[in-house]
Amino acid sequence: MWIGVDPGGKDAFGLAILNDDGRFSTHCFSCADEAIKHLGERPAGIGIDAPMWWSSGPSGDRRADQWIRKQYQIRSGTVQTTNSLRGACLVQGALFAERARQLFPAVPITEAHPKAVLRALGHTWSEFSEFCSAFSINGIAENEHRQEAFVSAVAAREGFEGRWPIDLGKKRHECEQDRV
């Protein structure tokens, strides 16, 4: 099973659980701890729509984010610098990763950019929903937080299964933390 997370505040913390057979469920919670309690067995991987490492450089801008914005002509409001993100994304995303590692120490965790993923694939959410048959996924998530969690789960699966081989965390500016 693959987990996708879209950290947010009250009733806006999206969680998606994507099974290998294409079945999935999506949920909304109010914090990382509520979402973690919903996990059962160890997931194969987790995708989180939040920064998983920091930069001490100007605006907290990271090389990975710069590459995504340039590569896919994405405006800075979609792939933001860490200094411009809301607290729930930053804090709850990192806390979810920490809690997941406490439960499952070896689980691979990746940072996901669901809006950028959709842009890179050339799809809107509704087009992606129709396109999902290519991923052996059935159904549609009900709101933006659930949708972004769902795309984050797909990104984790495709990345950790080796179908999306680019790892943007490998090349960092000197002012960026080691993502590990």
**Where exactly are the structural domains of the chain?**
2-160
The angle formed by the CA atoms of residues 152, 155 and 156, to the nearest 5 degrees, is 90
15 CB-side CA count, 13 A? 25
> Do residues 171 and 65 lie in contact, with contact meaning Cβ atoms separated by under 8 Å?
no
Confidence (pLDDT) at 79: 85
| Closest alpha carbon to 103 in 38, 13, 42 | 42
> Do residues 55 and 75 lie in contact, with contact meaning Cβ atoms separated by under 8 Å?
no
Tokens read off for 156: 């984790």
| Closest alpha carbon to 68 in 135, 164, 175 | 164
| Closest alpha carbon to 87 in 95, 98, 77, 97 | 95
pTM for the predicted model, two decimal places: 0.90
Confidence (pLDDT) at 6: 96
> Do residues 156 and 6 lie in contact, with contact meaning Cβ atoms separated by under 8 Å?
no
- Each of the 180 residues of the chain gets a pLDDT tens digit; together they read 999 999 999 999 999 999 988 888 899 999 999 999 999 899 999 999 999 998 999 989 999 999 999 998 887 777 888 888 777 788 999 999 999 999 999 999 999 989 888 888 888 777 777 666 655 555 555 688 998 999 999 999 999 999 988 888 888 889 988 877
**Radius of gyration in angstroms for the set of CA atoms belonging to the chain, rounded to a whole number:** 15
CA torsion 72-75-77-83 (nearest 10°) is 80
What is 2-160's CATH topology? Nucleotidyltransferase; domain 5 (3.30.420)
3-state secondary structure at position 155? helix
Confidence (pLDDT) at 155: 92
CA dist list (Å): 158 to 33, 36, 134, 174: 26, 22, 12, 28
> Do residues 81 and 56 lie in contact, with contact meaning Cβ atoms separated by under 8 Å?
no
Which residues partner with 6 through β-bridges? 14
